[in-house]
Amino acid sequence: MDEKLDMMDSSGCASSEPFALRVLGDSMEPEFKDGCIIIIDPSGNARHGNYVIAELDGEYIFRQFIQQEDKYLLKAINQGYPDVALEDASAVRGVVTQRAGARRKYHKHYD
């Protein structure tokens, strides 16, 4: 099962402004539980190990960005999902900068 995201055009937001998404599904568990909120920086540059939103065939997918020499992969934390090979990093549409928890002490920031 491959989980994709639908992203809606949010009028009033500049394309470079951070925005929030709700995680759907279990592909990124245990780090990102189904229903948690993540903050995306669309102007962030993806580096090895970052969590990213990427566009593939007109759909969006949430994965960890892996760079091995000149190869790029999108990897699910849940090993029940396959890796997705990328030709380059141009498919990345934003980098996760924060996970919002149910309580402030469960919030987490990512570099």
User: Are the C-beta atoms of 37 and 86 separated by less than 8 Å?
Assistant: no
Residue 103 has a pLDDT of 59
CATH of span 19-109 = 2.10.109.10
Q: Which two tokens stand for residue 35?
A: 């229903």
Residue 9, pLDDT > 50, answer no
What does each C-alpha distance from 66 to 6, 29, 35, 42 come to in angstroms? 23, 17, 24, 18
Residue 8 has a pLDDT of 45
Parse the chain into domains and list their residue ranges.
Answer: 19-109
pLDDT in tens, 48-95: 999 999 999 999 999 999 999 889 999 999 999 999 999 989 999 999
Residue 5 has a pLDDT of 53
Residue 16 has a pLDDT of 81
User: Are the C-beta atoms of 48 and 24 separated by less than 8 Å?
Assistant: no
Residue 75 has a pLDDT of 98
pLDDT in tens, 94-104: 999 999 866 56
DSSP code per residue over 43-94: TPPP-TT-EEEEEETTEEEEEEEEEETTEEEEE-SSTTS--EEESSGGGEEE
Say if pTM beats, i.e. exceeds, 0.85: no
Residue 2 has a pLDDT of 52
